[in-house]
Chains A and B, each alone.
Chain A
Amino acid sequence: GAGVSQSPSNKVTEKGKDVELRCDPISGHTALYWYRQRLGQGLEFLIYFQGNSAPDKSGLPSDRFSAERTGESVSTLTIQRTQQEDSAVYLCASSLYAGTDTQYFGPGTRLTVL
């Protein structure tokens, strides 16, 4: 079946602009996760959804970052007033349920803030 998909694959934006990144999880997966991967580093956890609610937003770096999920499906990560330090690959993952279920990752969105 189809895996996790993300769009756009690449995004170049100017400092101060807002961006929206989209994630389509595997159909039927109730849990969805956002991670950030900075150049040469491992992944940092940002936020996770169980259904449409986000019990843990502890990884969001600042109040410029927000995310929502609708219909227990698509999720959007929004970064307002982008800064150069926001440049990274943003990865989305989904799992059948939160907890020990394997997380399946999308290909990521590479964000470059000029």
Chain B
Amino acid sequence: AQSVTQLDSHVSVSEGTPVLLRCNYSSSYSPSLFWYVQHPNKGLQLLLKYTSAATLVKGINGFEAEFKKSETSFHLTKPSAHMSDAAEYFCVVSDQNDYKLSFGAGTTVTVRA
């Protein structure tokens, strides 16, 4: 069985400063890992996906995440936050070749002008 822990329920950053969203996972097998973003009143959008290729995964809108097996982590970063990054972010894990996604509780990002 797999599970995800998002270590911060809320992150507040100033525009132009780095963003770090922390995620730890547990998985019985080689995991697939995802970050999804949910803007207010919008559907979930895939930011990036890791499936056992390169450990540093680049996504859309300047986000990237690094898979660290030894730390069972998949933290999401962006060098410079933009106002449009204000949203809720979900770290998601599935056992490889498994359709069932396990979601973290989410991290709400606020960007200050």
Contacts and interface: CB of A to CB of B under 8 A. Distances in A.
Given A100-B51, A103-B99, 4 more contacts: A102-B46, A105-B43, A106-B43, A107-B43
Nearest to A105: B44
A33 B99 contact: yes
B105 A41 contact: yes
A45 B46 contact: no
A99 B43 contact: no
Interface in A49-82: 56
A40 B104 CA distance: 11
Interface of B: 4, 32, 34, 36, 41-46, 49, 51, 90, 94, 96-106
Contacts of B45: 105
Contacts of B46: 102, 104
Nearest to A92: B43
Contacts of B97: 99-100
B67 to A, nearest CB: 15
11 contacts: A35-B101, A42-B90, A42-B106, A48-B99, A91-B44, A100-B97, A102-B49, A103-B101, A105-B43, A106-B43, A107-B43
